[in-house]
C-alpha cells in the first residue's frame, strides 16, 4: 500500500482510529505468525491510544500474551521518571493488560553509557527476532510514531548524527538543540516494518506537517521524511488542526 493520509476531526478521533488499527494489525499478526511485535511511541496522542486499548471492551479483543512490546526511542531518564516513554506506556496500557513481563523490552535510558545501552537494545532485538545484530533489520508488525513541531520523529531530530545511520538499528543520539541525549531506533529498522503508523495532532504541527508531506525532500531539516517503508504500509493519521496547511484535505477513513 502506498503512503496513506487519513484526516480526523480531533486528537481523540486520531487516537480512536489508531487503537482500532493496533488491534487489527495485532490480530492479523497473531493469526499469521503467532506473535505481534510492536514498537511504541511517546507523546500525548499515543498515550491516549494506549488508554483506549486498556479499556476492557478493547483489551479483550487481543490475545495479549502473544504481544511483544518494544520502544522506538527513549529519553535519558530512569523508567520511573515523568518524561520516560516507558513509564507513560506502562501506566496507560502495559500495567492494565495481560502482556507478559518478559515480553516488554524497554530501553535503558538511565544507563550511564547510552551508546552501550543502544548496542544492548540492538542485541535484544536480534534475540527477540531470532536473527543476528549485523543481519538485515528486524521486521516489526507495527511501529507507532509521532511527529514533533520541528519535524522530528522517534528521537531522530533535525541535523543530528543519527539521521545518517544506515547500519546500526539503535543508536544514542546527541540533541544539542534540547541539550540532551536520546536513544532511538534508526531509519533502517523503522523502514523495515510491515506498517509504520504516524499519529499527529495539534495546530503546532501544521506548518511542519505540510512541509513533510508536500514539500521538497530535506531529511536533515525534516527527519520524518526519512520514514518510507520499502515493503510495508505507511499510514499518517492527522487531525484537522495539524492538517490545516495541507493543500489537499486528507479523506476520512472509509469505515
Q: Enumerate residue ranges in the chain where pLDDT < 70.
A: 1, 255
SS3 of 199, please? strand
CB of 107 within 8 A of CB of 121? Answer: yes
pLDDT given at position 134 = 79
pLDDT tens figures, 146-187: 999 999 999 999 999 999 999 999 999 999 999 999 999 999
Please report, for the chain, the start and end positions of each structural domain, with discontinuous segments joined by +: 4-239
Q: How far apart are CA 16 and CA 131, in angstroms?
A: 34
Of the candidates 54, 55, 38, 44, the residue with the CA atom closest to the CA atom of residue 10 = 44
| Unique residue bearing C-alpha cell 515523568 | 82
pLDDT at 9: 98
State the DSSP code for 104: B
Contact of 184 with 170, CB cutoff 8 Å: yes
CA pseudo-torsion sign 213, 219, 222, 223 = positive
Residue 53, Cα to own-chain centre: how many angstroms? 16
Is residue 219 a contact partner of residue 152, using CB atoms and an 8 Å limit? Answer: no
Percentage of the chain exceeding pLDDT 70: 99
Whether this prediction's pTM lies above 0.85 is answered by: yes
- Bridge partners, residue 200, by sequence: 238
pLDDT of residue 148: 96
If one counts every other C-beta atom within 10 angstroms of the C-beta of residue 127, the result is: 12
Which of 179, 176, 172 has its CA nearest to residue 110?
Answer: 172
What's the pLDDT tens digit per position in 83-113? 999 999 999 999 999 999 999 999 999 999 9
pLDDT at 133: 80
Please provide residue 217's backbone torsions phi and psi, each rounded to the nearest 5 degrees.
-70, 125
Q: Name the residue among 48, 53, 42 with its Cα closest to residue 10.
A: 48
Neighbours of 2 (CB within 10 A): 5
pLDDT at 1: 59
DSSP string, 12-32: HHHHHHHHHHHHHHHHHHHHH
* DSSP 8-state assignment for residue 151: S
pLDDT at 208: 98
The C-alpha cell 512541509 sits at 211
Grid cell in block for residue 184: 532511538
Coil, helix or strand at residue 155: coil
Q: Which CATH number fits domain 4-239: 3.40.50.2300, 1.10.10.10, 2.60.40.10, 3.40.50.1360?
A: 3.40.50.1360
User: What's the pLDDT at 196?
Assistant: 98
Amino acid at each position: 500500500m502506498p503512503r496513506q493520509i487519513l484526516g480526523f476531526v480531533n486528537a481523540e478521533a486520531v487516537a480512536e482510529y489508531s487503537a482500532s488499527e493496533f488491534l487489527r494489525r495485532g490480530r492479523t499478526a497473531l493469526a499469521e505468525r503467532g506473535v505481534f511485535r510492536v514498537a511504541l511511541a511517546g507523546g500525548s496522542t499515543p498515550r491516549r491510544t494506549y488508554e483506549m486499548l486498556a479499556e476492557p471492551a478493547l483489551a479483550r479483543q487481543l490475545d495479549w500474551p502473544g504481544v511483544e512490546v518494544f520502544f522506538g526511542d527513549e529519553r535519558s531518564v530512569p523508567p520511573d521518571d515523568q518524561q520516560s516513554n516507558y513509564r507513560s506506556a506502562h501506566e496507560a496500557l502495559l500495567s492494565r493488560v495481560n502482556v507478559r513481563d518478559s515480553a516488554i523490552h524497554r530501553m535503558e535510558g538511565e544507563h550511564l553509557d547510552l551508546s552501550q545501552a543502544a548496542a544492548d537494545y540492538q542485541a535484544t532485538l536480534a534475540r527477540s527476532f531470532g536473527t543476528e545484530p549485523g543481519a538485515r533489520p528486524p521486521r516489526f508488525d507495527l511501529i507507532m510514531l509521532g511527529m514533533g513541531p520541528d519535524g522530528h520523529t522517534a528521537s531522530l531530530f533535525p541535523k543530528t548524527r543519527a539521521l545518517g545511520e544506515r547500519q546500526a538499528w539503535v543508536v544514542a543520539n546527541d540533541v544539542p538543540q534540547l541539550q540532551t541525549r536520546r536513544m532511538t531506533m534508526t531509519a533502517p529498522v523503522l523502514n523495515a516494518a510491515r506498517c509504520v503508523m504516524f499519529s499527529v495532532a495539534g495546530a503546532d504541527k501544521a506548518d511542519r506537517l505540510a512541509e513533510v508531506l508536500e514539500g521538497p525532500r530535506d531529511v536533515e531539516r525534516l527527519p520524518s521524511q526519512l520514514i518510507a517503508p520499502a515493503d510495508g504500509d505507511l499510514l499518517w493519521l492527522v487531525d484537522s488542526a495539524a492538517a490545516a496547511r495541507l493543500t489537499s484535505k486528507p479523506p476520512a477513513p472509509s469505515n
